Amino acid sequence: MANNSYQIVLIALVELLKEQGQAGAGELDGLNAYQALLEAKTQAEAFGIPLEEIGLGDFNLDDLINPPLRHAA
């Protein structure tokens, strides 16, 4: 049960960092989120934790420092 609690807290933190990073993509806020999420990704990979389990499975970290171009409507 304790591990599940840690996972819930980690997922909430990852989601918050993803939101903040996307909101500040290409700026300092995006870089801060990138660094924190990169560390989470690195640690998960080192411990054999699937990135999907912490909310990073299909998330492209590089978009936080080099945001994709947005097309004008």
pLDDT at position 29, please?
A: 81
- Whether residue 64 is contained in a domain is answered as no
- Whether residue 72 is contained in a domain is answered as no
- Which two structure tokens, joined as six digits, stand for 24? 């500040």
4-9's contacts with Cβ under 8 Å and 24+ in sequence apart are 7/53, 7/54
pLDDT at position 1, please?
A: 44
- Whether residue 9 is contained in a domain is answered as yes
End-to-end CA distance of the chain: 48
pLDDT tens series, the chain, 73 aa: 467 899 999 999 999 999 999 999 988 888 999 999 999 999 999 999 999 999 999 999 999 998 877 655 5
- Whether residue 54 is contained in a domain is answered as yes
- Whether residue 27 is contained in a domain is answered as yes
- Whether residue 39 is contained in a domain is answered as yes
- Whether residue 28 is contained in a domain is answered as yes
- Whether residue 68 is contained in a domain is answered as no
In the chain, how many domains are there? 1
Structural domain that includes position 20? 5-58
What DSSP state is assigned to residue 62? G
pLDDT at position 30, please?
A: 87
- By residue count, the chain amounts to 73
